Structure 1
Amino acid sequence: MATTLLKRRRGAGRPRGAVASLLAPSTLFMLALFVWPLIVGIGQAVHGPDGFTLDNLRTMTGDSQFWPSVRNTVLLITVVIPLQFAFAISMALMLRARPRFSQLWFYTWVIPLAISDLAAGLVWLSIFSDRGYLNSVLHDLGLPTYSWLSYQHPLTVFLCILVAEVWRATSLVLVIVVAGMQGIPRDYEEAAEVFGASYWQRLRHVLLPQLRPSLQVALILRTILAFQTFAVAQALTGDNFPLLVGETYHWYTSLQNADVAAAIALVVLAMSMVTAVVYLRALRDRTPGGSAR
């Protein structure tokens, strides 16, 4: 009996070692690519010639472009994220209805996934520039042209960047939402329809609650990537619409000050983490058997 118990105890210890060996590569990967660069970045942001200092943070906040870049980044995210999710959910619902050529529509909509940020910005620059396609069409129609990207027109500058970002990144949300809808059985919707639920009631009380995990992942991922928006705005407007990541790039390359660049990068990281926590709490499952219990 004692021998049997000893064997069982030895056997019970093996899964722990197997789990540790399986987790070791991913743990080392996270330490090498996230934890260590984070430690180095924090140290660089608060380190000076004489040791610990807050001069880099003061230089960052005292820069004339820092607060406008914070404002523009928050404004862009606040507007672009709801638009992208509205478009992505609408397109996914249309694909779920299985219209004709639905596969063709899907592959057409995800084409921007294969285009880099800078290339997307250059595409829309050819449309919105003074001699771009949009002004050419307006001229051919006998309508007045417009300097869409001029620094004198901040509203149209923002709208041009917004249109480019919605076109470029909505496809990422669409793919995640479509994948989430593939795992939702149609039986629930059919049962709700039998009991007289309207389309909007089925959407609100049946489909969207089951889509919550996919929406949560898409929302966190898309917001984190939106904080990193830089190439599209840079290609369209240069420095006329400063963003946080653009300021990081400016301090690191043009001003040759990696310490201030690290401080701005930490601001982007902090804002990303705060929004991720807010999303996780706002979209958690509050049902009696859910994770919020």
Structure 2
Amino acid sequence: MTPGSSRPLWQRGTPYVLLLPSMLFMALLFGWPMIQGISEAFRSPDGAGLDNWRRMVDEPHFWDAVRNTLLLIVTVIPLQFVLALGMGLLLQTKLRFSRFYFYLWAAPLAVSDLAAGLVWLSIFTDRGFLNSALSDLGLGTFSWLSYQNTSTMLLAVVLAEIWRSTSLVLVIVVAGMQMIPKEYDEAGQVFGGSSWQRLRHVTLPLLKPNLQVALILRTIMGMQTFAVAQALTGENFPLLVGETYKWFAQLQNPAVASAVALLVLTLSLMSSAAYLRLLRRSGAEEGAR
């Protein structure tokens, strides 16, 4: 006999009854719009079909948007994690004014995507602060955001994204570091472990759940990058979410916009599942050792 089988039926069903309103709310808020979006993506004048997907793929900037989105993710996320870990380790040393530094580094969390893009636009535009500084030094000016200079456009978007969203990773990393008992690091010191060895064999393994959450969140947010690039480059640096906006707002075609949005959702889910699988496998291998 299981522990809960002796209770009356109405008591066993109470948790589900209490969860029912929130489940209904989530279904209405997310489930129904998702079903509508999926059906819209496969809807065509002749019925269900792949016409919207063919139009999406045949659009001239689509593959550039896919390339730029993936390139932005593989460039920004590793740099953000290195910076966040470095800043978190600095804060752990209890250096002077460390609380002030934390608030300073976390300040970009309060800045919207569009505002961050406009801030960096004032730096990289032809008459911006960077060109003014270069001109004062006698080094000439450069068109950083010209459509002919894709590498510098990528650089501008990468720097803006790092400045805007590294703070999110930092907050998650610092929260995880505060949960690690100091005795573990002290034990590593007693056994002669160097700073690098303690980081590799003590801090990082214990931070793994936090890093996993941060990695999934940042990848999903990276897939959704739009306002920063839009403010800096307009349509010269296309991204997948920008394609969704263009099809919906400019081309007045919500069906193809739904197809692009569904593609972004699929890529986000696939990357999250891959992260969970790889991290679970690596954890199992470490446990076997």
- Describe how 1:184-223 pairs up with structure 2 within 5 A: 184-223=180-219
Q: Separation in 2 of the partners of 1:288 and 1:160?
A: 39
- In 1, Cα distance between equivalents of 2:201 and 2:186: 13
Aligned to 1:80: 76
| In 1, Cα distance between equivalents of 2:120 and 2:286 | 48
Report the Cα distance in structure 2 between the residues aligned to 1:124 and 1:208, rounded to whole angstroms.
33
Residue 84 of structure 1: SS of its match in structure 2? helix
AA at the equivalent of 2:80: Q
Tell me, in whole angstroms, the C-alpha distance in 1 between the residues paired with 2:158 and 2:122: 16
- The 3-state SS of whatever aligns with 2:252 is coil
Q: Give the partner amino acid of 2:177.
A: M
- CA separation of 1:22/1:209 partners in 2, compared to 1, >3 Å: closer, same or farther? farther
C-alpha distance in 2, partners of 1:272/1:12? Answer: 43
Counterpart pick for 1:172 among 147, 168, 171: 168
Matching residue within 269, 276, 283 for 1:286: 283
Which one of the candidate residues 128, 133, 154 is aligned to 1:132? 128
CA drift of 1:33 comes to 2.4
More deviation, 159-168/43-52: 43-52
Amino acid at match of 1:237: T
Alpha-carbon separation, structure 2, partners of 1:287 and 1:249: 42
Q: 1:239-258 residue pairs with structure 2 within 5 A?
A: 239-258=235-254
Residue of 18, 23, 37 corresponding to 2:19: 23
Q: 1:22-171, aligned counterparts within 5 Å?
A: 22-171=18-167
- Return the letter of the residue paired with 1:167: W
Question: 2 CA distance for matches of 1:9 and 1:202?
Answer: 48
Residues 109 and 188 of structure 1: is their aligned pair in 2 closer, same or farther, counting only changes over 3 Å? same
Matched residues, number = 285
- Measured in 1, the distance between the counterparts of 2:166 and 2:44 equals 42
Consecutive unaligned residues of structure 2, counting only runs of 5 or more, are: none
Residues 121-150 of structure 1: CA distance to partner in whole angstroms, max 9, x if unpaired?
Answer: 000000000000011111111111111101
Task: Report the equivalent of 1:275.
Answer: 271
Q: TM-score, normalised by structure 1?
A: 0.93
The alpha-carbon deviation at position 14 of structure 1 amounts to 5.1
Distance 2:146 2:109 in 1: 28
Mapped partners of 2:197, 2:82: distance in 1: 17
Q: Give the residue type in structure 2 aligned to 1:137.
A: A
What is the root-mean-square deviation in Å for CA atoms of aligned residues?
Answer: 1.9
Judged with a 3 Å threshold, the aligned counterparts in structure 2 of structure 1 residues 15 and 127 are, in CA distance, closer, same or farther, namely farther
1:88-113 Cα distance to aligned partner (Å, 9 max, x none): 11101111111100000000001100
Q: Which amino acid aligns with 2:77?
A: I
Identity across aligned pairs (percent)?
61
The residue type paired with residue 69 of structure 1 is A
Give ranges in structure 1 of 5+ residues lacking alignment. Answer: none
